[in-house]
């Protein structure tokens, strides 16, 4: 065949086209792991995360992916194993869902201070009880204060791209912190969509090898990791992780620019995505696959002459506080839809609404009302009519008609 | 502000934990009999205690609530009115579990105040180990056998009440003898203990220690780094590998000397040390293999010399040594420095072996040692002896 005799130099010049495939968000992340040439994968089944481990094991079984695939005896071990592998220089992948993620909590808490660039997929799932499979964001959000980077994606394409971005961000020497990609259970983990899969050559160009440098645990670099320390060390160690969060936004911005340059797909502002906000009076804001019904609802309301837009928060940690506050201060009111809860929080709102209010208090000149809406829990659908009701309340707030600071949507009662 | 008093008890981790806690609690409860308020607490950083590690317990007493708050508004008292050392081998300095370097036992003592040491030694002997300080202070010795017990078993040998008696004498402002007697009668319900406290009170006296008197040893210390200068990832650079051992006398090179952390020495945890007979050593390697702290240097002739800055005195080497009297654990109070035994042996073998013979005479057999609780009935056997020593004063 002609291609076999083609000189190497010439072959390099050939423009490599993306391949298109109909795959789920979980499968997209599995393919990203293959492309990223991940060294160690640990697995323990829990729905909906387990689909990703099934896909990876399939890739390994088919000889398409070469990695250590370790089925652990529980999530705690699952995350401990990758933690240790990462300290020894391996690129790692793991993940979990709901209470599985919580069972790994001890391992999750120690990884940021140990500067472990672990990439995990959280198939968002309601925390027990009641036992439920559906999406809720409280699982991934449980690590929000600990130094993890947290991002929510809304499509299989974005899942694949973000997984590649995740390795580049987490393994940047300025970072070296764990990163979790949240995928809404069912809506994303189990829904197949058309995805452009980049070539291994492109990915190789984008993703340098993981170099742990002087933090590598190796007989040739004798170090001791994770000793016990007294009160005269801990504050300084926390300050080191704080410094990472100070740098995080810049690193993420750089990596997205590089991604766009190599793969050609544009994500614009990495931290949040705006939909029909240009002339909007009010906006709704949320994370994850809520964006689909939100876009539909926005278009419907626009047809009715309501000037409403939608903002999808892509990165929760780092939280682009000043930037999002600056963006949102031009609207008359904001409605935050939380697929989570934060019982007993100020105003009894969800996590995102509470964080956003904090960002707006210091970062915006106008401080428009921020209404909180809790809904879609346990995998319940957030419908277009639900979102229309949300928007009505936000418009009322914009007009100065007092609204409750927290409302439940899609609730029987 | 009313009057505020702080008492610091320096003790051996595990072996004296209950004793130290009892003393600080008793101070507060006895002072409360006189209408004072107080708190008692251990130094939290020392809490996961190890055998013998220097640890601290505190009592703070005040005349009123607000003054007490002044005393409580800090993690631990920076200055104390009285320091009590419950084991005289601690006089060599206390390196607590955290990395503070070596602290002299009078580190927090206010100038002119009293340092009380439970000991059978006299003041001149103790001052060979207690470090110099710039300000004068008072030294009082409470004659008695060091009271050691186990983690969960308390040896009730009256050391607690005897210390209380001495405190009432040294610092009557914090608590009077009457208040202590009342406390013992009401709470401990022991007339014999009242007598012990009273006897200790009557006999206790202090001498003045002038500025600059004492052990001239330079205390090892180090600077805590700034956060930007610390390695990240909660990681510590390992020690480089060791190298060959050079005989200090003959210059012969061989064996192995492991590299050791210059900033973290463990000897202040030691209450007894191994004394090695290099002449009878069969070079079996067991002491070296079993030492949990890599404390042994392998000499050029393949005997094993204990590095006395690294040794915490656990006694494993003695237990595994198959040769009679080749390794013997001897109470730390017998020694004034950490110099190499092998060097002394190489310089003058006869003199060393004579010294060794004399030194190990004072060694207490393993089954009679008071470190920890070894068998049922142990304390019933030991307590009368300790009381007798205390009675004689």
Fold: same for A15-263 and A272-408: yes
Distance from CA of B75 to the nearest CA of A (A): 11
Say how many C-beta atoms besides its own lie within 10 A of residue B176's C-beta: 16
Query: What's the mean pLDDT in A195-213?
Result: 96
* B237 in contact with A, Cβ within 8 Å: yes
- pLDDT for the residue B44: 67
* B230 in contact with A, Cβ within 8 Å: yes
Residue B207 pLDDT level (bands cut at 50, 70, 90): very high
- Residue linked to tokens 């999406």: A135
Does B113 reside within a domain? Answer: yes
- At A160, list the tokens: 């694949």
A230 contacts on B by Cβ (under 8 Å): 45, 97-99
Q: Is the domain defined by A15-263 classed in CATH 3.40.50.970?
A: yes
Are B196 and B241 in the same domain? no
Please say whether the beta carbons of A169 and A251 come within 8 A. Answer: yes
The CATH number for B126's domain is: 3.40.920.10
pTM: 0.89
pLDDT at A361 over 50: yes
- At A17, list the tokens: 């086209």
Q: b/e string for B287-316 if b means 16 or more Cβ within 10 A?
A: bbeebebbbbbbbbbebbbbbbbbbbbbbb
Q: Do B233 and A224 lie within an 8 Å CB cutoff?
A: no
Q: Do B99 and A215 lie within an 8 Å CB cutoff?
A: no
- Pick the more confident residue, B149 or A389: A389
Query: pLDDT by residue (tens digit) across B304-352?
Result: 999 999 999 999 999 999 999 999 999 999 998 999 999 999 999 999 9
Q: Do A114 and B233 lie within an 8 Å CB cutoff?
A: yes
In sequence order, what are the residues at sequence separation of 6 or more whose Cβ sits closer than 8 angstroms to the Cβ of residue A85? A39, A40, A68, A92
Are B9 and B138 in the same domain? yes
Are B196 and B103 in the same domain? yes
pLDDT at B96 over 80: no
Are B197 and B241 in the same domain? no
Are B160 and B200 in the same domain? yes
pLDDT at B261 over 70: yes
Are B191 and B257 in the same domain? no
A228 contacts on B by Cβ (under 8 Å): 48
Residue A11 pLDDT level (bands cut at 50, 70, 90): very low
Are B191 and B236 in the same domain? no
Query: pLDDT by residue (tens digit) across B262-291?
Result: 777 889 999 999 999 999 999 999 999 999
SS3 B368: helix
Are B245 and B193 in the same domain? no
pLDDT at A31 over 90: yes
Pairs of CB atoms within 8 A across A/B: 63
Chain B: residue whose CA lies nearest to A112:
B233
Does B135 reside within a domain? Answer: yes
Q: Do B230 and A240 lie within an 8 Å CB cutoff?
A: yes
Cα distances (Å, whole numbers) of residue B225 to B140, B228, B230: 38, 8, 6
Chain B: residue whose CA lies nearest to A113:
B233
Are B41 and B169 in the same domain? yes
In sequence order, what are the residues at sequence separation of 6 or more whose Cβ sits closer than 8 angstroms to the Cβ of residue A337? A284, A285, A286, A290, A294, A373, A375, A376, A382, A387, A390, A409
Please tell me which of the candidates B224, B235, B236 has its beta carbon nearest to residue A232: B224
CATH number of A272-408: 3.40.50.920
CA torsion sign for A358, A359, A363, A369 is negative
Q: Which residues constitute the domain of residue B358?
A: 229-262+272-368
Distance from CA of B227 to the nearest CA of A (A): 5
Residue B97 pLDDT level (bands cut at 50, 70, 90): low
How many independent structural domains does chain B possess?
Answer: 2
- pLDDT for the residue B366: 80
In sequence order, what are the residues at sequence separation of 6 or more whose Cβ sits closer than 8 angstroms to the Cβ of residue A208? A168, A171
SS3 A41: strand
Mean pLDDT of chain A: 95
B222 contacts on A by Cβ (under 8 Å): none
Does B134 reside within a domain? Answer: yes
Does B391 reside within a domain? Answer: no
Please say whether the beta carbons of A261 and A300 come within 8 A. Answer: no
Give the CA angle between residues B124, B128, B131 to the nearest 5°. 120
Chain B: residue whose CA lies nearest to A111:
B233
Q: Do B237 and A222 lie within an 8 Å CB cutoff?
A: yes
- pLDDT for the residue B1: 75
Residue at which a domain ends, from B222, B249, B281: B222
Does B57 reside within a domain? Answer: yes
B47 contacts on A by Cβ (under 8 Å): none
B231 contacts on A by Cβ (under 8 Å): 214-215, 223
Query: pLDDT by residue (tens digit) across B343-388?
Result: 999 999 999 999 999 999 989 888 777 776 777 888 888 888 888 8
Q: Do A176 and B226 lie within an 8 Å CB cutoff?
A: no
- At A309, list the tokens: 């837009």
Are B62 and B109 in the same domain? yes
B238 contacts on A by Cβ (under 8 Å): 222-224
* B223 in contact with A, Cβ within 8 Å: no
pLDDT at A8 over 50: no
* B229 in contact with A, Cβ within 8 Å: no
- Residue linked to tokens 């009256």: B158
Q: Do B99 and A232 lie within an 8 Å CB cutoff?
A: yes
- pLDDT for the residue B384: 87
φ and ψ at residue A86, rounded to 5 degrees: -65, -40
Please tell me which of the candidates A115, A224, A240 has its beta carbon nearest to residue B236: A224
B56 contacts on A by Cβ (under 8 Å): none
The domain limits of chain A are 15-263, 272-408
Are B142 and B249 in the same domain? no
Q: Which long-range contacts (CB under 8 A, 24 or more apart) does B353-357 make?
A: B353/B277, B353/B279, B356/B275, B356/B277
pLDDT at A69 over 90: yes
Does B385 reside within a domain? Answer: no
The CATH number for B235's domain is: 3.30.70
Kindly tell me the burial class for residue A153, based on how many C-beta atoms sit within 10 Å of its own C-beta (0-12, 13-18, 19 or more). Answer: buried
Residue B225 pLDDT level (bands cut at 50, 70, 90): very high
Q: Do A236 and B237 lie within an 8 Å CB cutoff?
A: no
Please tell me which of the candidates B45, B97, B233 has its beta carbon nearest to residue A215: B233
Are B15 and B128 in the same domain? yes
Which residues, in sequence order, are bridge partners of residue B340? none
Query: Alpha carbon A227 to chain centroid distance?
Result: 31
Among B103, B110, B63, CA closest to B83: B110
Please say whether the beta carbons of A294 and A310 come within 8 A. Answer: yes
């Amino acid at each position: 065949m002609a291609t076999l005799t083609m000189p190497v130099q010439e072959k390099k010049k050939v423009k490599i086209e993306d391949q298109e495939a109909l795959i789920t968000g979980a499968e997209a992340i599995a393919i990203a792991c293959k492309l990223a040439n991940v060294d160690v994968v640990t697995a323990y089944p829990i729905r909906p995360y387990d689909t990703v481990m099934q896909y990876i094991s399939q890739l390994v079984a088919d000889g398409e992916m070469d990695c250590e695939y370790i089925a652990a005896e529980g999530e705690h071990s699952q995350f401990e194993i990758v933690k240790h592998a990462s300290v020894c220089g391996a690129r790692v992948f793991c993940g979990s869902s709901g209470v599985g993620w919580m069972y790994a909590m001890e391992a999750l808490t120690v990884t940021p201070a140990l500067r472990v660039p672990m990439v995990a997929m959280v198939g968002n799932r309601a925390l027990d009880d009641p036992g439920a499979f559906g999406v809720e964001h409280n699982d991934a959000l449980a690590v929000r204060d600990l130094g993890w980077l947290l991002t929510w994606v809304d499509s299989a394409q974005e899942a694949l791209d973000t997984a590649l971005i995740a390795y580049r961000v987490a393994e940047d020497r300025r970072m070296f912190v764990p990163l979790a990609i949240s995928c809404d259970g069912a809506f994303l983990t189990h829904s197949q969509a058309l995805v452009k899969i980049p070539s291994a050559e492109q990915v190789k160009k984008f993703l340098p090898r993981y170099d742990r440098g002087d933090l590598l645990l190796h007989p040739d670099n004798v170090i001791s990791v994770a000793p016990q320390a007294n009160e005269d060390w801990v504050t300084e160690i926390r300050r080191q992780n704080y410094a990472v969060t100070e740098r995080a936004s810049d690193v993420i911005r750089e990596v997205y620019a590089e991604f766009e340059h190599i793969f050609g797909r544009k994500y614009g502002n990495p931290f949040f995505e705006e939909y029909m906000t240009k002339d909007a009076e009010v906006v709704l804001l949320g994370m994850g696959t809520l964006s689909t019904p939100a876009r539909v609802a926005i278009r419907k309301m626009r047809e009715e002459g309501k000037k409403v837009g939608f903002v999808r928060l892509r990165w929760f940690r780092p939280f682009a506080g000043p930037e999002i506050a600056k963006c949102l201060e031009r609207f008359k009111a904001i409605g935050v839809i939380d697929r989570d809860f934060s019982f007993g929080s100020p105003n009894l709102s969800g996590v995102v609404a509470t964080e956003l209010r904090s960002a707006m208090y210091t970062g915006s000149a106008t401080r428009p009302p921020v209404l909180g809406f809790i809904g879609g829990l346990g995998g319940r659908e957030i419908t277009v009519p639900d979102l229309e009701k949300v928007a009505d309340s936000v418009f009322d707030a914009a007009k100065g008609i007092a609204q409750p600071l927290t409302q439940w949507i899609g609730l029987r009662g | 502000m009313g009057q505020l008093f702080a008492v610091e008890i320096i003790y051996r981790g595990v072996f004296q934990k209950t004793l130290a806690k009892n003393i600080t609690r008793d101070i507060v409860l006895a002072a409360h009999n006189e209408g004072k308020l107080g708190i008692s607490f251990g130094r939290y950083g020392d809490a996961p205690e190890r055998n013998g590690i220097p640890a601290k317990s505190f009592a703070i007493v005040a005349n009123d609530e607000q003054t007490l708050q002044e005393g409580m508004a800090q993690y631990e008292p920076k200055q104390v009115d009285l320091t009590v050392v419950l084991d005289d081998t601690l006089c060599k300095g206390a390196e607590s579990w955290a990395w503070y370097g070596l602290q002299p036992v009078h580190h927090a003592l206010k100038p002119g105040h009293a340092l009380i040491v439970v000991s059978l030694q006299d003041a001149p002997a103790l001052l060979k180990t207690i470090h110099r300080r710039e300000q004068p202070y008072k030294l009082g010795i409470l004659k008695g056998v060091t009271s050691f017990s186990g983690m969960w078993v308390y040896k009730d040998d009256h050391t607690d009440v005897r210390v209380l008696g001495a405190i009432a004498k040294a610092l009557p402002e914090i608590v009077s003898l009457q208040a202590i007697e009342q406390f013992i009668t009401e709470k401990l319900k022991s007339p014999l203990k009242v007598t012990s406290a009273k006897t200790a009170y009557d006999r206790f006296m202090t001498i003045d220690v002038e500025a600059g008197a004492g052990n001239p040893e330079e205390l090892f210390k180090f600077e805590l780094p700034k956060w930007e200068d610390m390695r990240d990832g909660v990681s510590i650079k390992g020690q480089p590998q060791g190298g060959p051992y050079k005989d200090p006398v003959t210059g012969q090179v061989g064996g192995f000397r492991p590299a050791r952390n210059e900033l973290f020495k463990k000897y202040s945890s030691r209450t007894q040390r191994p004394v090695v007979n290099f002449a009878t050593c069969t070079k079996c390697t067991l002491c070296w293999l079993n030492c949990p702290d890599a404390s042994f240097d392998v000499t050029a002739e393949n005997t094993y010399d204990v590095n006395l800055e690294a040794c915490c005195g656990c006694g494993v080497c003695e237990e595994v040594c198959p040769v009679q009297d080749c390794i013997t654990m001897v109470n730390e109070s017998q020694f004034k420095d950490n110099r190499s035994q092998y060097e002394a042996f190489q310089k003058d073998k006869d003199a060393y072996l004579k010294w060794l013979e004399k030194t190990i005479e004072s060694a207490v057999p393993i089954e009679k040692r008071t470190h920890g609780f070894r068998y049922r009935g142990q304390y019933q056997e030991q307590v009368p002896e300790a009381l007798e020593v205390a009675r004689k004063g």
